[in-house]
Structure 1
Amino acid sequence: MKRISIATIMTLFFYTTSFAQLKNVSGKTKQIETFLSEFEKVGFSGTVLVELNGNKVISKGYGYRNAELKEKKRQIQYLTLVL
């Protein structure tokens, strides 16, 4: 599980940093959402925030909030401060 988490984080990091340099935002947004939906199918659970030039592009929760009760995540569940 730890390997999957590290691989997921690294993939998202490289994917989002390359995304920041592209002009076709709506097409890339769809690609990222599809990519994350596929990860959700194999057990990824978390909240994703993607910003481009200070504008929120994607803010979405994936997976379960409580896996035992199968409660889905809400779109905005946590607030993160980046300095």
Structure 2
Amino acid sequence: MSHVEKEKKKLLNRLKRLKGQIEALERAIEEDRECARVLQQATSCRGALDGFIAEVIEDHIREHMIDPGTSRDDPRTVAAEELVEIVHAYLT
């Protein structure tokens, strides 16, 4: 996963934010917060994890499916970029 090395700092920052959200969820449970608050925090965690997954998938597509030497008009490049948009739309 050499492409992850390029994005390592950004990905680690995302995970640190996610960790903070998980810890807040844990505190909400420990403090017997209302169900609506717990669910809101849980969906925030899910959104953050989906964003992380989308970022890794998008980086993977751009690194392994798009040849850096090809034109942006190349059919495979266009298809790969469309796939990135689809992933982004469904996970973020």
The bucket for the TM-score relative to the shorter chain is 0.3 to 0.5
Looking at secondary structure, tell me which structure has more helix per residue: 2
Calculate the TM-score normalised by the size of structure 2: 0.35
Calculate the TM-score normalised by the size of structure 1: 0.37
Larger Rg: 2
Looking at secondary structure, tell me which structure has more strand per residue: 1
